[in-house]
Amino acid sequence: MNGIRIDKWLWAARFFKTRALAIKACDLNRVLSNGVAAKPAREVKVGDKLEITNDTGVFGIEVLGLSENRGAAAVAALLFRESDASKELRARALVERKENPQFFEPAPLGRPSKRDRRLIHSFRGR
């Protein structure tokens, strides 16, 4: 195998849960292959440098292996190598999110009260 579609590879390497999400990320220019925005059908080869943005952060990786099949996480981890700078940036972003608690409001306990429901309905425009 010389090359594989990038959306299949992203799915097999477990960066996205479905191929549809991988295709959408490519369409939204969240996947860069060797510094160029990658379309879903673009071929990825061993040695390519990818920059992938997903919910967990920005990954700067080098492709080490190719696979069309989604396997175990341990097998998927052998398909790529993440750069040290990428690991450091993601760790720093995680620390910043934990230090800033204003974005993490606790979920309300129990069901909404009658007053809460009225506020929800007025907010939604009903």
How far apart are alpha carbons 72 and 14 in whole angstroms? Answer: 9
> Would you say residue 104 has pLDDT above 70?
no
> Would you say residue 126 has pLDDT above 90?
no
Tell me the sheet residues that pair with 5. Answer: 43
How far apart are alpha carbons 24 and 42 in whole angstroms? Answer: 14
3-state SS, 36-51, equals EECCCCCEECCCCEEE
**Each residue of 78-88: pLDDT tens digit?**
999 999 999 99
Q: Which of 27-31, 36-40, 91-95, 108-112 has the lowest mean pLDDT?
A: 108-112
For the residues of 101-113, what is the DSSP string, one character each?
GGG-PPPPSSS--
**Each residue of 34-81: pLDDT tens digit?**
999 999 999 999 999 999 998 888 999 999 999 999 999 999 999 999
pLDDT of the residue at 106 = 73
